[in-house]
Structure 1
Amino acid sequence: MAQNLKDLAGRLPSGPRGMGTALKLLLGAGAVAYGVRESVFTVEGGQRAIFFNRIGGVQQDTILAEGLHFRIPWFQYPIIYDIRARPRKISSPTGSKDLQMVNISLRVLSRPNALELPSMYQRLGLDYEERVLPSIVNEVLKSVVAKFNASQLITQRAQFSSPLERPFPSPPPSDPQVSLLIRRELTERAKDFSLILDDVAITELSFSREYTAAVEAKQVAQQEAQRAQFLVEKAKQEQRQKIVQAEGEAEAAKMLGEALGKNPGYIKLRKIRAAQNISKTIATSQNRIYLTADNLVLNLQDESFTR
């Protein structure tokens, strides 16, 4: 290549005329290289491009997919959009139905509608998120939260992480879901601005200090009441147990008395067993002990015992 350039330079006329010709060739080559460079552009993965024509404006029927594309330099230039979903966290203070201040934070996963990019550029430009999302999120949050009391916002809050393309089930009138209503209304509102919401989730839900303290005090009181009720039930169970035990012992004593009245041999048997236990204890002892029959509770001199 260098040798070809040297040969070309050698064939050029010398002097001012040769310098002018060389300059023209260099300018021509530079113009061609610039034209080729400006005529080609690349749309990266996850992007779409539209054309702006200096005569006709935005071309509504042209949406370029990923890959290499050509354009007319200066006459056309591409406007590239990132159509991948991007998360954004938006916080909004609002009021509940019972006039309690509520601070809600939403995580919104949004992306532009690739089929409506030309009209989106004409209406919103490239910074569509800054222009649209904060306003519609605040609008929807205020309208939805105002339908619920502060306690309902806690008990009926539901987290959803599935994509919004799934059909929305209709919530029962007696148990509406806060997150479901926010998602549904926010998705419908975003469609007016050519936005698709892939996910909407409540990430934070907080109340004023006064209301939080009141809720905590109520919970403590409920726990104390439940504990007191448990202690009362426990005492009742112990009382019933003692009554049943006493009734059982009384019934056993009554039955034993009736049995002894009919047959006194049971007492004699108990005395014999007691004597056996005493003698066994003495036999295993190292001390020498002398016991009479009376000491062994045998009562051998009692005629009624030996009968």
Structure 2
Amino acid sequence: MELNPKFRGRRAGRLIGAGAAVLLVLVIGGNAFTTVQYGHVGLYKTFGKLNDSVLTPGIHFKIPFIQQVIQVNTQVAKTETDTSASSKDLQPVSTHVAVNYSVDKETAFTLMNNIGGNFDTVIINPAIQEIVKEVTARYPAEDLITRRDLVAGEISDHLTKRLAKYDLIVNEINIVNFKFSDAFNQSIEAKQVAQQQALKAENDLKRVQIEAKQKIAQAQAEAESLKLKKQEVTPELVQLKQLEVQEQAVEKWDGKLPSVTGGATPFIDVNSLSGK
């Protein structure tokens, strides 16, 4: 038995309507929830207007097709800036600075509502440029090199106060590099060479002085020893030494007298005296 064409049309229409309803529910349901990622906070945006309710990481409901959720990164981020300025002694210096910063979770709405998402180029980089120029102008060029930590600390203090007005947190600042003119670099190198040579000459002088003192001390010790030895020599000791020498001579004598003597004494034939 065949179905009435009219009935078949109605049935098909109902199926299509049911499918469309299911599809609509799925689309609406899929747009009714959103997820705020870890390390971020969310802000509702309704018809272009931000809501000051801050959403924590996780799943949140939103009105489909009417609301959207803007995610704001609250993790530590980094920006790097090159700044050209002059030192206190008017040496041109280029400074490469790296700044680690983060967004305050509690005040993300204020930042996004007043500045927007490009706050790094609108607020942070111009502030770094201005403050680095201001601080480097207070120091001679050589001090920028030898007192880098102090310079970085001063820049960090000023930058922290400046960005706090916009609810931005400065976590760390690093002066990656100072770059000076070739003429200044050559003068620094020449000064270092001169200092090294002066230090070597000073060390050599100290070594010579020490050696001279050692020789004087040694000579004084030898003189003192000789003096003590002379004090130990007495007439009795001399006589004793003479007796020791004579005894040694007698022990070594073979019993024969010398046949010839020299000097003013006439020659004497010892054999003739003995009758041989």
TM-score by length of 1: 0.71
What is the aligned counterpart of 2:51 among 55, 59, 63? 59
1:48-69 per-residue CA deviation (whole Å, 9 max, x = no partner) reads 11111217x2223x11111111
What is the aligned counterpart of 2:121 among 114, 130, 135? 130
Please give the alpha-carbon distance, in whole angstroms, between the structure 2 residues aligned to 1:270 and 1:151.
80
What is the aligned counterpart of 1:42 among 35, 39, 52? 35
What is the aligned counterpart of 1:151 among 138, 142, 147? 142
Of residues 205-214 and 248-257 in structure 1, the stretch that sits farther from structure 2 once superposed is 248-257
Letter matched to residue 224 of structure 1: Q
1:248 aligns with 2:221: yes
Tell me how large the CA RMSD over aligned residues is: 2.9
1:27-58 per-residue CA deviation (whole Å, 9 max, x = no partner) reads 11111111111111111211111111217x22
1:82 aligns with 2:41: no
Post-superposition shift, 1:214?
1.4
SS of structure 2 residue aligned to 1:74: coil
What is the aligned counterpart of 2:9 among 10, 16, 24? 16
**CA 1:269 to 1:146, structure 2 compared with 1: closer, same or farther past 3 Å?**
farther
Post-superposition shift, 1:219?
1.5
**CA 1:271 to 1:135, structure 2 compared with 1: closer, same or farther past 3 Å?**
farther
**CA 1:22 to 1:268, structure 2 compared with 1: closer, same or farther past 3 Å?**
farther
Letter matched to residue 36 of structure 1: G
**CA 1:236 to 1:270, structure 2 compared with 1: closer, same or farther past 3 Å?**
farther
1:178 aligns with 2:179: no
TM-score by length of 2: 0.79
**CA 1:33 to 1:248, structure 2 compared with 1: closer, same or farther past 3 Å?**
closer
What is the aligned counterpart of 1:227 among 200, 214, 219? 200
Q: Which residue of 1 aligns with 2:238?
A: 264
Greater gyration radius: 2
Count of residue pairs the alignment pairs up: 248
1:133-158 per-residue CA deviation (whole Å, 9 max, x = no partner) reads 22111111011111111122223222
1:8-36 per-residue CA deviation (whole Å, 9 max, x = no partner) reads xx9xx743332222222211111111111
Please give the alpha-carbon distance, in whole angstroms, between the structure 2 residues aligned to 1:266 and 1:203.
87
Post-superposition shift, 1:78?
1.1
**CA 1:130 to 1:257, structure 2 compared with 1: closer, same or farther past 3 Å?**
same
**CA 1:269 to 1:109, structure 2 compared with 1: closer, same or farther past 3 Å?**
farther
SS of structure 1 residue aligned to 2:148: coil
Alpha carbons 1:141, 1:182 under 8 Å: kept: yes
Please give the alpha-carbon distance, in whole angstroms, between the structure 1 residues aligned to 2:11 and 2:131.
74
1:103 aligns with 2:94: yes
Alpha carbons 1:260, 1:266 under 8 Å: kept: no
Q: Which residue of 1 aligns with 2:270?
A: none
Of residues 137-146 and 260-269 in structure 1, the stretch that sits farther from structure 2 once superposed is 260-269
Q: Which residue of 2 aligns with 1:28?
A: 21
Q: Which residue of 1 aligns with 2:274?
A: none
Letter matched to residue 147 of structure 1: R
Alpha carbons 1:260, 1:267 under 8 Å: kept: no
1:207 aligns with 2:180: yes
Alpha carbons 1:40, 1:70 under 8 Å: kept: yes
Q: Which residue of 2 aligns with 1:293?
A: 252
SS of structure 1 residue aligned to 2:106: helix
Aligned-residue identity in percent: 25
Post-superposition shift, 1:206?
3.4
Gaps of 5+ in 2: 255-276
